[in-house]
Each structure stands twice: as structure tokens, then as C-alpha cells.
Structure 1
Amino acid sequence: MVLRLGSVAPNFKAITTKGEIDFHQYIEGSWAILFSHPADFTPVCTTELGEVARRANDFAERNVKVIGLSANELKDHENWVKDIDEVNNVHVDFPIIADADRKVSALYDMLDYQDITNVDTKGIPFTVRSVFIIDTKKVIRLIITYPASTGRNFDEVIRVIDSLQLGDKHRITTPANWRKGDDVIVHPGVTNQEAAELFPGFRTVKPYLRFAPSPF
């Protein structure tokens, strides 16, 4: 299966630090972020999971459920969470999938076949740092893959969620480096007459580029 933007996120059942879950049931009615990690007890992953826990309120405000994944056993996850909490002064309250057999990793094409050092003792590839943003219809709206050596920017993940949710609610797109509260772009499919009603005070830079105040 090739996953692209617009694909329905594949369902799966898995053991996690919060018990067994059915993924579609877990995210029902919410947006979701599924993000993978190369391995437990690794430095970059420890900072990433701590950051996600620290920003729990940011995700809750946006109706986003988060779920992590690492290619280790459940017992390792449970011990690792203690380190994450201690190092980052947080409480990890979201599930982390125990994917030692790489079933979910393979389903979502999260395995690293380029970096030959990114393997376990049996030579099986670990996961890379994949991010999937999934909407309330269980449709994949964003896919980002980072190398194992580079931690993710969760400011960017939240920025994209804001952009997607705003675009779903209003007929807009967002420009480069846009942040919540900045001016937005009137969708090309909106006529000037419609724009005058929807976005009073919109301004035209080019016929195809029209800015309007943020509807937030």
C-alpha cells in the first residue's frame, strides 16, 4: 500500500503503554498525529516525546489526539517513559505503540532502508521519524519524514494543523511562514464578489493572489 495525502489512514490494532487499541476507534471524532521513533532510550526521541507531553494542552485545544510508536517491546516503553518524564519534567499521558515486530511501521512505510546503521541487533531496520496528521474523516492530510538524526519541529506540526483546520472551515489557504493570526490567502476558487462577502477588506496583489485578515 502506498500512502499519499488524501489516503485513508490504515487501521490497525496494537499494544500500547495505555493498553490495546484499535487505531480508528481511538481517533474517532478527533484529528490525530501518529509519529514514529527509531528506538527507546535514545537521546533525540527522549526530547521529542517530552516536547509532545509538554504541549498536551495545545493539541487538546485543537481536538488532536497524539500517539507515538517505537520499535521496541512494551516493557521497554514503560521504563523509558519514566526517563522521559524525569528528563523533561512532564507526564507522558498519550499512548506509545510497542511495534517490535514492525507491523505498524511497515503498514505506514516508516522503515529506514537508506541508513544501514539504523538497525537493531538482528539487522532489522528501525523506524525513521515519520509524522502523519490525520483529520476527523481519518484522511491523511500531511506526511513528513525526518532522518533518525534530526529531531522534529513541533511548532511546525501545530502550525500545519492550524492551517488545515482553518482551511477546512473557511475558503482560504495560507502563505509561506504563516502563523496563527497572520493574514491568509483567499482561495483561488472564490470569486471577487464572494470574497467581498466572505472577507470584507480583502486586498488584491495579483488577480491570483488576494490576502484577507485571518478568520481566527
Structure 2
Amino acid sequence: MIDADEDSGGGELPNRALHIVGLDKNVKLSFLFPACTGRNMAEVLRAMDALLTAARRRVARPANWRPGERVVIPPAVSDEDAKKRFPQGFETAELASNKCYFRFTKVN
């Protein structure tokens, strides 16, 4: 992939693209790094770890998540199912309308 916006006087420069493919053979995540931008392997590893946790535990990781922090239980998981899957419990953040907005739990 050629970066049309980058030309250091010596011609076109290549972009770096990274695609993470799941076991179902679908692209789960894509990174595109312009030629002038270094890659952040720590972010790539964090994203891969988040994808694995999501697939195994059916949870979502918030931005800037770090190991040991709370994860989000997706809305598609009912409270009953969440209570079974997360016996250690979960916290609920509510809106002013008293409707459930986010449910958080910890996973190992």
C-alpha cells in the first residue's frame, strides 16, 4: 500500500498494514500505519489480548484497559446470564432515568 500523502523527495513510501484474523476467518481488527508513523506493538498486543478475552468470556474491554481492571458486560447478555457467568458479581452504572447503562465485572 502506497502512502499518497508521503513523499520524502525520493518517491512514494509504503504504508504498513496489520490485519488480525479470527478463527472464523473474519478480520477482527485492522491497523494502518502511515509511512511517517512508527508502529506501537504494545497497542497491538493489548488489542489482541482484548479480542481473545472478548471471544472467550463474552466481555468488552474499555479504552486504555489494563490487566486487573474491570471489563464491560455487553447489553446482549441478560442480567440472569451475567449472574451465572460472573458469580463474583458485577456493578451497574445507571443513567439519571434509572436505566441500566453499563455493567462491569472483573475476569481472570
Distance 1:147 1:199 in 2: 41
Aligned residue runs from structure 1 range 157-176, under 5 A: 157-176=44-63
Is 1:159–1:180's contact at 8 Å kept on the other side of the alignment? no
1:113 aligns with 2:4: yes
Map residues 1-216 of structure 1 onto 2, 5 A cutoff.
110-117=1-8, 123=11, 125-200=12-87, 201-206=89-94, 207-214=100-107, 216=108
1:171 maps to amino acid: R
Give me the whole-angstrom Cα distance separating, in 2, the residues matched to 1:188 and 1:130.
Answer: 32
Deviation at 1:132, TM superposition (A): 1.3
Residue type of the partner of 1:192? D
CA contact 2:6–2:13 (8 Å) conserved in 1: no
More strand by share: 2
Structure 2: distance between partners of 1:170 and 1:188: 14
CA RMSD of aligned residues (A): 1.8
Aligned-partner SS, 1:126:
strand
Distance across 2 between alignment mates of 1:147 and 1:186: 34
Structure 1 segments unaligned to the other structure (5+ residues): 1-109
Aligned length: 102
Report how far residue 136 of structure 1 moved.
Answer: 2.1
Give the structure, 1 or 2, with the largest relative contact order (CA under 8 Å, sep 6 or more). Answer: 1
Q: Is the 8 A contact 1:131 1:144 kept in 2?
A: yes
**TM-score normalized by the length of structure 1:** 0.44
SS at structure 2 position matched to 1:180: coil
**What letter matches 1:114 in structure 2?**
D
Aligned residue type for 1:202: F
